[in-house]
Amino acid sequence: MESKVISTKGKELRTVELSEAVFGLPINEDVVWYAINNELANARVGTACTKDRGEVHGTNKRPYGQKGTGHARHGDTKSNLYVGGGISFGPKPRDFSYMMPRKAKRLALKTILSLKAQDGTLTVIEDFTVESGKTKDLIAALASFVDAKKPERTVLVLKDDDPMLKRAARNIPWLSYLSYNRLRAHDLFYGRKVLVLESAAKQLNEFYAE
């Protein structure tokens, strides 16, 4: 399949070939859901921690006698029934991350790229860089694709680690930047617009064509 290459001025320059094996796959919703949840789980810190009745500070003395008070029987005030007592079945530090099969992960990314290409939200743009590393220069370069006054969540796929372009992009809250070989399913799927540099599109054809 072919896609038009758009300049930073919004003009059509030429066409580029997009591999059917990467951008023309049927939509597999299950594997996309699996990949996004895997990324969210791996990003969880898992540091929530509560104390049970054996860990809270307090005395072991009985609050009152066993009989004759009209109260329920209590051994100490560290019970979860008392204010300041322990927490029953509260969270403890844990690792939420898990491994996802490599082939399934690649299939999910190709499925999302295919989805974006088919619904028209993926645009191939000419290669450019921001030599100054300034945010305002990058916003000006993307003005033909995104209205900075009413921006939409946008993903920019790069051909390599361009330090100056990344420096300019990291201050833009509505823009995410990804290298072609380190894509994230969550960012791609929820991006309203996906802008792919021309060289990155060619790299995607080769990298995910297996």
pLDDT over 90 at 162, yes or no:
no
Report percent pLDDT > 70 for the chain.
Answer: 100
DSSP letters, 82-117, are: STT-PPTT------------HHHHHHHHHHHHHHHH
CA dihedral in degrees (121, 124, 130, 134; nearest 10)? -10
Domains belonging to the chain, first-starting first, are: 2-28+102-207 (3.40.1370.10)
Global pTM? 0.84
pLDDT of residue 209: 81
- CA 86 to CA 154: how far, in whole Å? 46
